[in-house]
Amino acid sequence: MSTFVKFIIDGKICLSEEGKQLIEAAKENDIYIPTLCNYPGIPPKGSCRICTVLINNRPATACTTKVTENMDIKTSTPELEDFRKAVIELLFSEGNHFCPSCERSGNCELQALAYKYRIAVSRFPYFFPERTIESWHPKLIKDHNRCILCKRCIRGIKNNEGKTIFAYGRRGQYLEINIDPETSKNISDELAEQAMNICPVGAILVKEKGFITPIGKRKYDYNIIGSEIENQ
Amino acid sequence: MGNTINAVIKKYNGDETRLMDILLDIQTELGYISDWTIEQISKALDIPAVEIIQTLSFYHFFHREPKGKYTIYLNDSVVSNFNGKDEVKKAFEEEAGIKFGQVTPDGLIGLFETSCIGMSDQEPAALINEQPFPSLTPEKAKKIIRMMKDGKSIEDIKGNKYGEGNNSHYLMRSLVNNNIQERGPVIFSDYTPGEAIKKIVKELSSTDIIEEIKKSYLRGRGGAGFPTGLKWEIARKAQGDIKYIFCNADEGEPGTFKDRVILTELPKLVFEGMVIAGYAVGAKYGILYLRNEYRYMRDYLEHVLQEMRDDGLLGKFIGGKKGFDFDIRIQCGAGAYVCGEESALIESAEGKRGEPRDRPPFPVESGYLNKPTVVNNVETFCTAVKIILYGSEWYNRMGTKESRGTKVLSVSGDCERPGIYEVEWGFSVNDILRKAGAKTHEILAVQVGGPSGSCISEKEFGRVLAYEDLATGGSLIIIGKKRNLIKDVVLNFQHFFMEESCGSCVPCRVLTVVYKKIIEKIVRGEGKSSDIENLQKWSVYMKNNRCGLGQTATNPTITAIKNFKYLFDESVKNNSESFNTSFNEDEAVKEYIEIFNKK
Amino acid sequence: MTKKKKIIATASLAGCFGCHMSFLDIDERILNLIELVEFNKSPINDIKKFTKHCDIGIIEGGCCNDENVHVLKEFRKNCDILISLGECAIMGGLPAMRNGIPLKECLEEAYINGPTVKDVNPQKIIPFDPDIPKILNKVYPCHEIVKIDYFLPGCPPRADLIWNALYALVTGNELLIPYEVFKYD
């Protein structure tokens, strides 16, 4: 049987199983901590840094931290909120995010966070990097322009034999996510769909699918990201 | 070719955690790692090609295409640039008939630049087929290329004027000099290999060793300063049937070269320290993680390890004691500064990308192959041996209250006597400048602790080197008044961090590029005063990166702005905030006009 | 005494005029606006040249050619406050999708190889003349060329967002941005 622990988030007393990921434990207590790289059910990586919170006044990522008894957590100081905004702006600056022409617009988590923080423009210079679109895979399209390198697909998607399909390549500003031509060759429609859905942005698409939901009915047209957790 | 690949893979028992060694060995044999080779490795190890590329493409010394029979990596460090790198570069280019970044059409010579190779005391330096060529001049560069064209071997090109000490050992034959300017009482004092091992076998238990190290207040010499005794104690108490001792010889901080000299002259002291740590912690395996830039020492170091085995100082029944088993293997890196971070170093030794891990768990609890692992710096192990030999009381008499003992400093830049100085903690920057023969009135700044440290001005030269004041991993780069600080130093360092970021954390991956771009803009004379404000403001975001590289990657800029604000202000003073000087209309339409001019 | 009306100028650079259309979508509120402001240089009233210094300049579109740059700089000189209106002005927008492609390739696709032109341009002419604007190497967001004071996103920005922003700016009232009017598409 699992032990429950008591901890405090922004002054609110919370309960959850000991050792649970903080970000998920917060969710159980109706508290939303913004994230891009975390995805329920797959191992955390702490790469986007958006879920950075203060734990006993020291910064740590909520996705890689396990809750313990009496932990004192602050999720939204002005500095943390400004940091999150900055990270989102950095991602917009780094890639080529042309929302008006993107299949994922309205359902995109990066965009939704930017809406939440009312980001009108990035304070950082736009890079306009030269990136490619891989359209030669049988089922998938990989648009490197939009990839935010969160690693969700790498961590969450394996083929039927349990083999890696997605992996990092290069490093730093040239970091990229590559698809293995062999292990991705015979993936099922379901797996392709899963890969598309695990991607927070429009970097992985299933061919011939897109713009299915009309404007006005998309996930984040009227609902702020995280409101489904906070308004429970 | 297929045979070579299979033989290498067999040598490592098809173990994918040895992927680094497999790739290094194959590249040594075949010159580069082609897509076909990747496919063969993928089949032999039964892992997808994309996973091999994931590791391979992380390290800048791995090549996926031919980089020349002779591959020249010219050092692009700050001191290399001070000492005339540009002229050497030009000479290489002229004689080879190609530009840097290219390979001659006949595939003979490839010219590339690389980050600091640990030769700041003898710049400009280059690595040619892994062999260091220090103190280059344009004449030497031209001669080297001519000899290559004549088909001479690397050994012939090196000639026979080898460096001092063990640099001339028949297994090293390197042109590098040690430049030990001052021998201190700890590291460079008299040493007889095996004495400390004899002592512990005779009279000390593992807890005795840990107690003695704790009483000495020894702190990690890599820069972070974690108490060594405590680290060993946690590892000793950690659950695990197998434990590991890592020696971090991935000395990548630009301006630092002390480990190069210690490994050359005192390898047994380093290894003995690892043995002692193994004894204290209960580990039977040690790994020396050697940066690729020092791979030229590998055969020599392997030879030293064998000597120690022969002398009963390594292997089974060390010192004749039953159950005291410990052996060491050498793991080479392949070019990645971030691997100096202990968890990245462990990832790399496991055959993966050198990406720092999330903590907790810490390596002492779960490190190499998820076993308790102690990672210590080269100098830390050496110091531990001397503490065991002479006692913590002896050791505590040296240094300051917070920083006991000595520190080996790498001093380079604008001074008469660059090289290695072992001094007691508590010496001031001024003292070091005097020792190195730098004239204070000619000095603009000193970069203490490399790019991740700080750039200080004359006002602070009275500060002392100690954990409680100017903490340092041990490098001082002396920057003369004749230098352009922003261009020659800050820009170089920001470029370095941009190149070396692993890219995993967003703030580090993107802001390192932003900082480099803005500094470049300021150097071009197109900066605005708001740019300087932003550079100062945005660095707080770096504090939330996962590792030390990311957390300190804007230090070159912010410490320079803090201490030399007038230089930055001067360079932006004529530029308007309303109209961006950085946008140049003539430049922007040039490409369009050229398209039609060519027709 | 009536308060002095604020003077507004607008321009469309490398845009599609969609932002201006959306501006007109404030519908009957345009009558309220006219009470508060007067228009100077703008396609809305077809005044081609600045006849006086303006309080607010509204820019649609980024800069894709040298004429855009000249107009933008003229706006900066003649307006106290400049607003980037819509995605193109803010970050280049769809025209900036060419930024990852060499200019030569773009021109060849547009004038020679594209499916709609390849049969009608047998002489393979790409326009180049002193009288037509010169294309820039890439499309620039406006704030990379001059200082921009405010940014209103959207493709196009919702009429309510434009109205709320202008009303707040002109009257000094607090700006309210409801979630559903703040969009990038």
Q: Domain containing B472 — which CATH number? A: 3.10.20.600
pTM for the complete prediction?
0.97
Residue B246's region, left for phi above 0, alpha for psi from -120 to 50, else beta, is beta
pLDDT computed for residue C1 by the predictor = 44
Both B38 and B52 in one domain: the answer is yes
Taking phi over 0 as left and psi of -120 to 50 as alpha, with beta for the rest, B320 belongs to: left
Q: Is residue B172 part of a domain?
A: no
**Which three-class secondary structure string do you get for B514-562?**
HHHHHHHHHHCCCCCHHHHHHHHHHHHHHHHCCCHHHHHCCHHHHHHHH
- CATH of residue B251's domain is 3.40.50.11540
Residues 142-171 of C with CB under 8 A from B: 144-147
Angle between helices B19-30 and B2-11 (to 10 degrees): 150
Q: Is B294 left (phi over 0), alpha (psi -120 to 50) or beta?
A: alpha
How many domains does the structure of chain B reveal? 5
A149 in contact with B at a CB cutoff of 8 Å?
yes
Whether residues A114 and C91 touch (CB distance < 8 A) is answered with no
Contacts of A171 in chain B (CB under 8 A): 57-58, 336, 353, 501-503
Which one of C145, C148, C149 makes the best mutation probe of the B interface by having the most chain B beta carbons within 10 Å? Answer: C145
The dihedral through the CA atoms of B154, B160, B164, B166 has a sign that is positive
3-state helix, strand, coil in chain B (%, to 5): 50, 15, 35
For B203-262, write each residue's pLDDT tens digit: 999 999 999 999 999 999 987 889 999 999 999 999 999 999 999 999 999 999 999 999
| CATH number (domain holding residue B531) | 1.20.1440.230
Average pLDDT score, chain A: 96
Nearest CA among A194, A133, A127, A134 for reference residue A159: A194
> Which residue type, as a one-letter code, is found at position A151?
K
Contacts of C136 in chain B (CB under 8 A): 588-589, 592
Rounded CA separation B262/B264 (Å): 5
**Cβ(B251)–Cβ(B264) below 8 Å:** no
pLDDT at C118: 84
Q: How big is the A-B interface in CB pairs under 8 Å?
A: 120
A55 pLDDT higher than 70? yes
From the list A47, A171, A180, which residue is nearest B505 (CB)?
A47
The band of C2, judged by pLDDT with boundaries at 50, 70 and 90, is low
Pairwise CA distance, residues B374 & B289, whole Å: 13
Q: Is the pLDDT of residue A215 over 60?
A: yes
Nearest one of A196, A215, A197, A198 to A207, comparing CA atoms? A196
Residue B166 covered by a domain: no
Best CA proximity match to B511, nearest among C143, A118, A87, C145 = A87
pLDDT of residue B2: 83
H helical segments located in A163-230: 189-198, 227-230
B394-401, long-range: CB within 8 Å, 24+ apart, which pairs?
B395/B186, B395/B216, B395/B218, B396/B215, B396/B216, B396/B217, B398/B185, B398/B186, B398/B424, B398/B425, B399/B424, B399/B425, B399/B426, B399/B466, B400/B425, B400/B426, B400/B464, B400/B466, B400/B468, B401/B468
Give tens-digit pLDDT for A126-146: 999 999 999 999 999 999 999
Q: How far is C161 from chain A (nearest CA, A)?
A: 12
Tell me the percentage of chain B whose pLDDT exceeds 70: 100
Q: Identify all chain C residues contacting A101, using CB atoms and an 8 Å cutoff.
A: 94, 97
Q: Report chain A residues whose CB lies below 8 A from the CB of B517.
A: 125
Give me the pLDDT at residue B223, please: 79
Q: Does one domain contain both B11 and B106? A: no
User: Which amino acid, B344?
Assistant: A
Please give the pLDDT value at position B491.
98
From the CA of A223, how many Å to the nearest CA of chain C? 8
Mutate to test the interface with C, among B514, B583, B592, B594 (most CBs of C within 10 A): B592
The answer to whether residues B136 and B247 belong to one domain is no
On whether both B501 and B562 belong to a single domain, the answer is: yes
B419 and B302 belong to one structural domain: no
Range of the domain at B438: 406-483
Asked whether the predicted pLDDT for residue C32 surpasses 60, the reply is yes
With CA atoms as reference, the chain A residue closest to C90 would be A121
The minimal CB distance from A126 to the residues C84, C91, C184 is found for C91
Return d(Cα C86, Cα A14) in angstroms, integer: 43
Are the CB atoms for A67 and A16 separated by under 8 Å? Answer: yes
CB pairs under 8 A between B and C: 48
Contact at CB, A124 and B514, closer than 8 angstroms: yes
> In this complex, is the C-beta atom of A101 within 8 Å of any C-beta atom belonging to chain C?
yes
CATH of residue B117: 3.40.30.10
Instruction: Choose the final residue of a domain: B396, B416, B435.
Output: B396
Neighbours, chain C (3 or more CB pairs < 8 A) = A, B
Inter-residue contact C10 to C20 (CB < 8 Å): yes
Please identify, among B34, B56, B78, the residue that sits at the C-terminal boundary of a domain: B56
The shortest C-alpha distance from C3 to chain A (Å) reads 31
CA distance C79 to B408: 61
Q: Is residue B463 part of a domain?
A: yes
Q: Do B578 and C137 touch (CB under 8 A)?
A: no
User: Which residues in chain A are closer than 8 Å to B514, comparing Cβ atoms?
Assistant: 90, 93, 124-125
**Structure ipTM over 0.95, yes or no:** yes
pLDDT of residue B131: 97
Of B50, B510, B540, the CB nearest to A167: B50
Mean pLDDT of chain B: 97
B591 inside 8 A of chain C by CB: yes
Interchain CB contact of B370 with A (< 8 Å): no
Q: Do residue C91 and residue A92 have CB atoms under 8 angstroms apart?
A: yes
Q: Which of A53, A81, A168 to mutate to test binding with chain B, by most B CBs within 10 Å of its CB?
A: A168
My answer on whether B452 and B375 are in the same domain is no
Say if B477 falls within a structural domain: yes
Taking the CA of residue B502 and the nearest CA in chain C, the distance in Å comes to 24
Q: For residue B212, tell me if it sits in a domain.
A: yes
Contact residues, chain C, for B596 at CB < 8 Å:
126, 128
Question: Domains in chain C, ordered, with CATH?
Answer: 6-97+138-181 (3.40.50.700)
Q: Are residues B232 and B291 in the same domain?
A: yes
Instruction: List the one residue out of A152, A185, A179 whose CA is nearest residue A167.
Output: A179
Closest C-alpha to C150, from A120, A113, A111, A92: A120
Structure tokens at A55: 């734990």
Among residues B138, B158, B163, B160, the alpha carbon closest in space to that of B148 is found at: B158
Lateral strand order in the sheet of B126-128: B109-114, B70-75, B126-128, B131-133
Say whether residue C93 is in contact with chain A using an 8 A CB cutoff: yes
Q: Which domains does chain A have, with CATH numbers?
A: 4-76 (3.10.20.740), 95-216 (3.30.70.20)
Residues B458, B505 within the same domain = no
* Per-residue model confidence as pLDDT tens for chain B (599 residues): 789 999 999 999 999 999 999 999 999 999 999 999 999 999 999 999 999 999 999 999 999 999 999 999 999 999 999 999 999 999 999 999 999 999 999 999 999 999 999 999 999 999 999 999 999 999 999 999 999 999 999 999 999 999 999 999 999 999 999 999 999 999 999 999 999 999 999 999 999 999 999 999 999 998 788 999 999 999 999 999 999 999 999 999 999 999 999 999 999 999 999 999 999 999 999 999 999 999 999 999 999 999 999 999 999 999 999 999 999 999 999 999 999 999 999 999 999 999 999 988 999 999 999 999 999 999 999 999 999 999 999 999 999 999 999 999 999 999 999 999 999 999 999 999 999 999 989 999 999 999 999 999 999 999 999 999 998 888 999 999 999 999 999 999 999 999 999 999 999 999 999 999 999 999 999 999 999 999 999 999 999 999 999 999 999 999 999 999 999 999 999 999 999 999 999 999 999 999 988 76
Domain final residue, candidates B396, B431, B463: B396
* Same domain? B87 vs B231: no
Q: List the subunits that have 3+ CB pairs under 8 angstroms with A.
A: B, C
B591 in any annotated domain = no
Are B578 and C147 in contact by the 8 Å Cβ rule? The answer is yes
B118 token code pair: 């640990």
Structure tokens belonging to residue B591: 């490409």
Assess whether B25 and B103 both reside in one domain.
no
Subunit contact A115:C179, Cβ cutoff 8 A: yes
Residue B52 and residue B123 in one domain: no
Distance, in Å, from the CA atom of C124 to the CA atom of C113, rounded to the nearest integer, reads 9
Instruction: Clarify whether residues B379 and B295 are in a common domain.
Output: yes
Sign of the alpha-carbon torsion through C86, C88, C90, C91: positive
Could you tell me the CA-to-CA distances from B213 to B75, B276, B373, B400, B481 in Å, in that order?
38, 11, 18, 17, 43
The whole-number pLDDT of residue B159 equals: 95
* CB-based contact, C110 to chain B, within 8 Å: no
Phi-psi label, residue A130: left if phi above 0, alpha if psi -120 to 50, beta otherwise: beta
Residue in B69, B254, B262 with CA at minimum distance from that of residue B151: B69
Is B510:B544 a contact under the CB 8 Å cutoff? no
